[in-house]
Amino acid sequence: MKRTRERRGGTSAQLQEQKAELRMTFAMAWSCLLLSFLVQCTGSWAQSVLTQPPSLSGTPGQRVTISCIGSSTNIGDGYSVHWYQQLPGTAPKLLIYDTSNRPSGIPDRFSGSRSGSSASLTIAGLQPEDEAEYFCQSYDNSLDANTVLQSHGEVRQEPL
């Protein structure tokens, strides 16, 4: 009988220790998950930022260029830039990938380029349906993770 009690006592102590370890592991896992979520959603962990002008306007047929200025840890380090267009009330649509490639179905009036630490999206022959928000996106190696930072600019039609 004494042996049974000793085993139960030892087992109970071991269980308590295991529970404490599990609680600590669980808390650490949640902390890491929360930190990853904050970094990926806000980009606030790093000082790196991609900037674009807040708004551009033009008349139909005009050539408009949106710039995206990065740094030596993203665009300037040779990482690809991707451009998205978001029309009011719709999800963003990929316009340009890998700096200068258009997916099928995207009109050739849209083109992308990169020079140094900045990239550009050019709309040659602005159309009324091009009035939208435009986002640039690039990987940044200073974050030590596959985090993407993005910024946006808006194109509006000038009244005639």
SS3 content of the chain, % helix, strand, coil (to 5): 30, 35, 35
d(C-alpha 147, C-alpha 151), whole Å: 14
pLDDT score recorded for residue 35: 34
Sorting pLDDT into bands at 50, 70 and 90, what band is 20?
A: low
Q: How many residues does this entry show for the chain? A: 160
Q: What is the pLDDT of residues 27-85, one digit of tens each?
A: 444 333 333 333 344 444 444 566 766 778 888 999 999 988 888 888 889 999 999 99
Q: Which run of H or of E encompasses 44?
A: none
- Considering the chain, what percentage of its residues have pLDDT values greater than 70? 57
Query: Do 123 and 139 form a contact (C-beta atoms < 8 A)?
Result: no
How far are the Cα atoms of 3, 26, 87 from residue 135, in angstroms, in the given order? 70, 37, 11
Contacts of 61 (CB under 8 A, 6+ apart): 125, 126
Q: What's the average model confidence in pLDDT over 122-145? A: 86
pLDDT score recorded for residue 124: 95
pTM: 0.64
CA 136 remoteness from chain centre: 9
Query: Do 65 and 121 form a contact (C-beta atoms < 8 A)?
Result: yes
